[in-house]
Every structure is written in structure tokens, then in C-alpha cells.
Amino acid sequence: MARPIAQKLQRVAAADVCIIVEGCYPYIPGGVSAWIDWLIKSQPGTSFSIVALWPRPTDQPPRYQLPTNVVSFQHVYLQNFGASPVTRLRVPPGTDDFAEALAAFSMHGGSASLAQVAIQLQALRRVLPASVLFNSPVAWDIVRRMYAQRMPYSSFLHFFWAWRALLGGLFATLEFPLPPARVYHTISTGYAGILAARAALETGRPAVLTEHGIYTNERRIELLMADWVADTVDKGHALDDPRLDLRDMWINAFEAYARTCYDACTDIVTLYDDNQRAQRMLGANPAKLSVIANGIDLARFSNVATAANDLRPTMALIGRVVPIKDVKSFIAAAHYLKATVPNVRALILGPTDEDPEYFAECTTLVHDLGLEETVEFTGTVNILDYMSQIHVCVLTSLSESQPLVILEAGAARIPFVATNVGSCREIIEGRSDEWPPLGPGGIITDLVAPQQISNAVGQLLLDPVKRRTYGETLQKRVAESYTSAQAVASYSKLYSRLIAAPSAAPIVPPTEG
Amino acid sequence: MAVAVLPANRSASMPYAKDNAQTSSSVAVRGAFSDHGLAALAALVIEAAMLVIITTGRINPMMFLGAHAIVVILLGVRAVTVGHRGGNTLSPMLTLIAVAATGPIGAAGTLLLMQLASRPRQDQALLSAWYERIALSIDVDDVTLLCDAVATGRTPDLATVTDRSFATVMQSGNLADRQTALGIIARKFHPDYLPALLLALKSPEPIIRVQAAAVATRIRPLLRARVDKAATSAESVTGDSIATLAADMKMCAASGLLDESDRLRADVVEKLLLKRAAATTVTDTAAWRRFVPSSPLQRDVSEGQLLSLGQFKALRVSRRLTRLLGHGLYSIRRPETGSSRRLL
């Protein structure tokens, strides 16, 4: 675990690249945080500053040591905005224009709209600070007008508090003093995307976005299922009721933020092709889109010995024992597989302490199905110690982006059976523009389909020739398209181009700190 | 990736609901000696004193007028100051005009007006109750809630009610409709939605698959709870509830969303219920119809599920029931008598 971030880094120094990240680095391990850590370390000649967006000040210790080429680290607290309420306040001129700009931005987004909001806010700031404005009769007036215009059917009480939650985060990003940098690199849309867009407008420097998952879609899914969002308008089961309610308000806001970020960024990068469809649907300009896939150190895995045919047939799930990995489908697949491969071994290589309740359910399921001699939970291990025993790797996840485990197994010539999520199909079967087409490196199945998974694994376990062919194909594909060196070179090239780019004329005057 | 940039729950997103309710019951009542009252009282005392003095002849009328002008100017300055601070200028202006026009009589008049205005109004209690209601700090009965919903236009709009099943939406709806439908399935789950969810899990659209997977994760415990409940009541349920419960178990087992052990339990419970039903006279054929898919689409989905799970016997039973009910008649053979009885 990293030491607390040194106080000296709180002084804001100029950097080549300012990384803007929301809700993960450096406090949440794995996934995107690990990627950011890798990115910074892979560009030792580039200086970085980091702006971490977080709900409130936290006691959580950082899980990553800041690399030596990080020159500053700052927080933006999204749910902590606003001074003490002010009841007696003269309404300053320009409030109407600000309210109009804010309403338009919250609904539609776009960098021009954000610029208007920022310019109007700066004009108001000359009369009173934004933190005071946010908790004053001025804000009350704005809320009432936005409610009457947009959501007259919903509960005003709920609208008011939702407005405060949403706009508090927006105001926090608009007020934050931008660290100086040549390039602003955001790792998601949302509030981080707004900050990057604002940086581009105020400094004239380029902003770039790398999306792992599609933030807007993740929020949409959360919001469509959330019980805490009150349904104040009873729409029954109607799918296209035009009355806006709170759920629509939240979703529209995040979509507006995404459009703003896509509009302001010069380059929009993602890890795989399928994500670009979602970005285009949200209004991203196709000319800005590119793919820079994750990469692994091929040499670390390519010398692993292939599992011998006479070893006990072994399939393995490499991952955390948590619901999103759907380990239960893996266990059920092992149960079905025993019919055709009676002595199959099913390894689950990964930490079991992240969700103890779910782990308990998995062990109960193993017991109920009589699989104690078949399924083995190893806990956190070095996967290199096990790879020479594994004939087929399996991923039963319900959601993934670009799982490194497939690349690592592929580098070790282990064929893969995976659910049709994220970039799994692209890695296992190849991109549509792969030339020459290499063929499959495994089999793709539906989600929550243990019988299909069992059939697919059975095919590979019982056919050594197919297994070897698929494994070699997957290794070849990983070597051609998914090495760490390629990813490093791609980002190095991107940063060089953007750092050297001339500054555009700022559209919004800089915010005085 | 992002963590908790959304409020985690409703109480966090509405932190002041209780506080608002408490302050609403103590709506300020203006006292006789508020700021405005004191100013009017001071003006009354000064003007009245000068009037008394002028009647004694100690000052001449010009001096009285001069003093009166000073009082009026001071009241005017006060009104402007209140306005600059964003306060309500009605009372200061009234006092100013009244004193300027009629001297002490005007001051007395505005003081009297303030006294009358400060009396608690009859409907203050109603206002307090209203504040408490909208702040959600009290329970409101269902009839009142319904009246509120009708009055504010928040009841379902019958013009927008869709005639498409969710399964049809998953097959041919636009992306927004599919995502909205999945949201409804998650929040208002019913086993009848399962065919739609299963279609969504296999959707060629990655966004839909991801959302369907999230919904499946959420409803799995609900299905398990249904199986648990059915298992405890399988021996005691009677009459046509047997068929309903058996159909429910069949749907849960075929969903593919139960853990394997729970699926086997659902199977066992269904078989037990069928066995009990075979020994019972069925009077409500509608209940029995729940055993079979209600549409070709649902049939294809549920038969596909049974096939993929290798549930060939269940598949044969399902098809046989479909054929029998399609003929509009069926009979149940009583093993102990060897006779059969046509029911329809």
C-alpha cells in the first residue's frame, strides 16, 4: 500500500500532461487505476499532474505510490460545494442569462454551451463568489425557473435536491483552479470530462479522452435501476411518456456532460471497436475516434510451458470472486462438464475476500453440487505458477472492458472461453479488419449460460489439436496487437503530437483562483 | 469505474427534509416591536411630542415642519437601506408615506396595521401541516396521495401506455425503449418479464447485454427467494394455487438465472406440486394455462431454454400441455379408479 501523498506535491507545478480521473485512482485498486499507474510509469520522460475527483474528503489511504514523474496531485470534491446559506442578498444583474445558459447546458451540453455557462458565471463572480451564489436566493430563483420550464409534473422537493447534487458537482468543477499543463487527459466523461473541456476552453490547450467503459452508459444503467431515485410521476409501464422525472433529469445531465467532453476533446481514445459505437451514438465526431488497446508484457508469459495432454483436464477462471465475474456460472459449467469429462478440475484463481457473502454462496453451491473434488479456490496466487497446468481458461463475467487475463493467457498459448462482453469477442475472434484473419483463439458464449460454457470447454478439453491451434492463434493475435510496447508507443506518439500542438485562442477567460 | 459520485441513497440526497418540517411549524409571527414597528413607534412619539409642543406655543410652525421633514427623511433613508439589503420595503414605504402625509396619525395608523397583520392567521395550522406534508416528515394516507397525484398530473398517462410486450420491445424496439424496459424489469420485477430479460441477455447490442446482466444479478436473489418460499408452502398450498405455484417454479427453473442447486430445487418443487395437482380436481383452467407459454415467442424462448439446459422431459410435458389446452379439452385420469373424467 502507498504512503500518504506527500504534502510537497500539493503545490501546483506545471506539467506536460494533466490526468483528470474520477472516482478511482489512487484509492481504488485494479482496473482503471492500474492502467493509470502503468501509463504514467511507461512515459518517464513526460511530467504529469493529477486531478482526482472524489465525492468528499476521504481518509482512505492511496493504494498506489505516486510515480516520480508526477509533479502535483489535487482533489476536486464534488459533493462538498457551497458556502453557508445566505438569505438576504440583492439579486445581481446577469442572473437571467446565467439561468438560461445553465438550463440549456444541463439539457443539451456541448462546449459552446459550457463556455456560455462559464462566461456568465465569471460575470456573476465579480459580484459574489459562486459558493455563496449556490446557497442563496439567486440559486433558489434559478431552480424554480428550471423546474417550471423542464419538469413541472415532478415533485419540486425532489427536483430541488437532485438539482443541488448535480449542480454542486458542476459548480465544483467550474470553480476549481486548473493546474497548468500542455495537455489535459481525462479518463472518463462525466465531471472529469467537464473539467477537461473547461481546461481546453480556458487555456486553449488540447484535451484528450480515453474511455475504458462508457461512463454515461454505466450511469444510465445505475440510474435506471436505482431505488433511491424517486419516481414522482407514475408512468406505469409506459416506455415513452414525455413527462420528465428525476431519472430523466439525471440521465440527461450525464449525456449532456458526455456530449460536452466529446465536443471539446481533440482525440477520443477507447480500448476496442465496440465502444466507439456507443461514443458515436452519444454524438462523438467519428474523425476524432481511435483505438489504443491495452497491452501486456509478452515475454513474461510466452515462455510458459503448455499444459501436457496427459495432465488432469483443467479449466481455470482467473479473477476475483465477486458477482460481476459470475463465478456461479463457472461452477455450474463444471457440474455439467463432469458428464463428458468426469475427472475435470476447475480452478478459481483470485482473491476471495472482496465479497465474503458471495464467496460463501459459491462454496455452498460447490457443496450442494458435490464438486468438492472438482472445484478449487486458490485465493490470490501468482498465475504464472499455475499456467502450465491449465488447458483452457474461462471468463464468465457479466461485464468487462478489455480483460488483461485473456491477453495473458493468450500470450501463454492457452485457449479461452469467454462470455460475449466488452472486447472479449474482438480478442478471441479478431477485429473485423484483421488481415489476414488469424481465426479463433477460443470460443465466445452467451451470458449466464453455464451449459454453453461447459460445451465449449468440453470441445477444447477433448480435442488436443483444436486446443493447440486455438492457443497458438490467440498468442499470435496478442503478439500482433496487444503488447505493452505497442500501447506505450501509441500514447507516446499521441502525447508528443498534442504537447507540440500550438495553443488555440482561449474561448473563456481564465478563472481567477 | 466511478465511485459514489451519485448520492448513495435518498436520505443523503434530501438531507434537510426533517429540518424543513421542523422550522415550518414555527413560521415567524411578527411582534409589535419588530424593526419596522420600532421605527413607526419612534416616528409616532416624535411627531406626537412636536404636536404637543407646538400647541403650547414653544416652537413655531416652521420649526415643527423642519423637524417633521427630518423624521420623513430618516424614514426615507431607512426604506432605501432596507431595499439595498434585499429586504421587503413595503412596511417602511407605507410608514414613510403615512407619516409624511398625516404626521403622528399616519405613524399610529401604520403601527395599528402592523399589529393586525402580526396576529396569527386562522390557516397557520393548515400551512404548517402543508409544509410537513411536502417535506415528507409525516405519513400520508393512500387516498390523499392519490388525490394529490391526480391534482398534480402525476398519474399514468393512458395515451402513452404501450401495447407491446417487453419481449417484443427487446426484439424490435429502439435502444432507449429497450433500456427503459430493462430498468422497469429491475425495479418492478415479475416472473412474466423473464422471457424479455433472457432475450436481452442474448442481444446483439452490447449495451443491452451489459444492462441485462446487471438486471439478472439483481433479480437472482428474488428468484431464489421465490423458490425458498415455494419449497416451504408446497405441501400446504391448496386448490388452484397449486397450478399457479407450479407454473411459477417452472418459469424460475427455466429462466437460467438460478444457481444450479436452486434450479434443481425448483424442479423438485414443481414435480411435487404436479403430483399433488394430479390428485386434485382442477376447476380453474386459467390457472393451468400458466403452465404453458402464452405466445409463440414465449414458447420459443422457454423451449429454447429447456433445450439448452437439457431438460427434455420438461420440454415434452410443456408441448403436450400446449397441445391439450389448444384442443380446448383435457382430462385427468384418477389412478385409483382407472377412470378418466373429461373436464371441458
Taking the Cβ of residue A274 and every Cβ of chain B, the question of whether any pair is shorter than 8 Å is answered with yes
Between B277 and A64, residue with greater pLDDT: A64
With beta carbons less than 8 A apart as the criterion, state whether B245 and B287 touch: no
Separation of alpha carbons B334 and B344, rounded Å: 16
Burial of B64 (0-12, 13-18, 19+ CB in 10 A): middle
B202 chain-A contacts, CB cut-off 8 A? 446-447
Q: Please give the pLDDT value at position B15.
A: 39
Max avg pLDDT among A120-124, A199-203, A241-245, B27-31: A199-203
Residue A439, Ramachandran bin (φ over 0: left; ψ between -120 and 50: alpha; else beta): left
Residue for cell digits 474523425?
Answer: A287
Tens of pLDDT, residue by residue over A209-233, are 999 989 998 899 889 988 888 888 8
Q: Please give the pLDDT value at position A92.
A: 75
Separation of alpha carbons A333 and A343, rounded Å: 14
Residue B119 in grid coordinates: 396576529
Taking the Cβ of residue A55 and every Cβ of chain B, the question of whether any pair is shorter than 8 Å is answered with yes
Per DSSP, what are the bridge partners of residue A346?
Answer: A315, A375
B256 to A222: CB separation less than 8 angstroms, yes or no: no
Per DSSP, what are the bridge partners of residue B340?
Answer: B333
Interface list for A 386-415 with B (CB within 8 A)? 398-399
Per DSSP, what are the bridge partners of residue B342?
Answer: B331
- Provide the CA B77 distance to its chain's centre, in angstroms: 51
Taking the Cβ of residue B174 and every Cβ of chain A, the question of whether any pair is shorter than 8 Å is answered with no
Between A141 and A346, residue with greater pLDDT: A346
User: What are the φ/ψ torsions at residue A17 (nearest 5 degrees)?
Assistant: -130, 130
Q: Please give the pLDDT value at position B63.
A: 84
Q: How far is B159 from chain A (nearest CA, A)?
A: 9
Q: How far is A293 from chain B (nearest CA, A)?
A: 18
Interface list for A 76-115 with B (CB within 8 A)? 78-79, 88-91
Separation of alpha carbons B147 and B211, rounded Å: 36
With beta carbons less than 8 A apart as the criterion, state whether A416 and A409 touch: yes
| Best of B169, B210, B220, B252 to mutate (most A CBs within 10 Å, chain A) | B210
Q: Please give the pLDDT value at position B300.
A: 58
* Local structure of A270: helix, strand or coil: strand
- Least Cα distance to A244 among B104, B269, B115, B157 occurs for B157
B2 to A23: CB separation less than 8 angstroms, yes or no: yes
Q: How far is A228 from chain B (nearest CA, A)?
A: 5
Q: Which residues contact A385 (CB under 8 A, 6 or more apart)?
A: none
Cis amide bond preceding A436, omega within 30: yes
Q: What is the largest CA-CA distance in chain A?
A: 84
Q: Please give the pLDDT value at position B30.
A: 41
DSSP B294-322: SSHHHHHHHHHHHHHTT-HHHHHHHHHHH
User: Which pTM does this prediction carry?
Assistant: 0.75
Q: Which residue in chain B is spatially nearest to A323 when comparing CA positions?
A: B217
A232 chain-B contacts, CB cut-off 8 A? 154
B181, B202, B214: residue with CB nearest A221: B214
A281 chain-B contacts, CB cut-off 8 A? 175
Tens of pLDDT, residue by residue over A223-260, are 998 888 888 888 888 888 888 899 999 999 999 999 99
Interface list for A 453-512 with B (CB within 8 A)? none
B181 to A332: CB separation less than 8 angstroms, yes or no: no
Taking the Cβ of residue B142 and every Cβ of chain A, the question of whether any pair is shorter than 8 Å is answered with no
Q: Which residue in chain A is spatially nearest to B186 when comparing CA positions?
A: A225
Q: Please give the pLDDT value at position A262.
A: 97
DSSP state of A21: E
Tens of pLDDT, residue by residue over A408-462, are 999 999 999 999 999 999 999 999 889 899 999 999 999 888 999 999 999 999 9
Q: How far is A198 from chain B (nearest CA, A)?
A: 19
Q: How far is B210 from chain A (nearest CA, A)?
A: 6
Q: What is the layout of strands, in order, in the sheet containing A181-186?
A: A70-77, A48-54, A15-22, A181-186, A207-211, A267-270, A289-291
Mean pLDDT of A48-68: 92
A161 chain-B contacts, CB cut-off 8 A? 13-15
| Signed CA dihedral, B147, B152, B153, B156: sign only | negative
Taking the Cβ of residue B252 and every Cβ of chain A, the question of whether any pair is shorter than 8 Å is answered with no
Amino acid found at A162: A
Taking the Cβ of residue B56 and every Cβ of chain A, the question of whether any pair is shorter than 8 Å is answered with no
B6 to A89: CB separation less than 8 angstroms, yes or no: no
A225 to B206: CB separation less than 8 angstroms, yes or no: no
Q: Which residue in chain B is spatially nearest to A278 when comparing CA positions?
A: B207
Residue A295 in grid coordinates: 497491452
A20 chain-B contacts, CB cut-off 8 A? none
Residue B56 in grid coordinates: 403650547
Task: Work out the mean pLDDT of chain A and round it to a whole number.
Answer: 91
Between B274 and A110, residue with greater pLDDT: A110
Interface list for A 164-223 with B (CB within 8 A)? 165, 169, 187-188, 190-191, 212-215, 217-223
Q: Is the pLDDT of residue A140 over 80?
A: yes
ipTM for the complex shown = 0.84
Question: Which secondary-structure segment (H or E) carries B10?
Answer: helix B10-13
Q: What is the largest CA-CA distance in chain B?
A: 129
Which residue positions in chain B have pLDDT lower than 50? 1-5, 7-32, 282, 284, 329-344
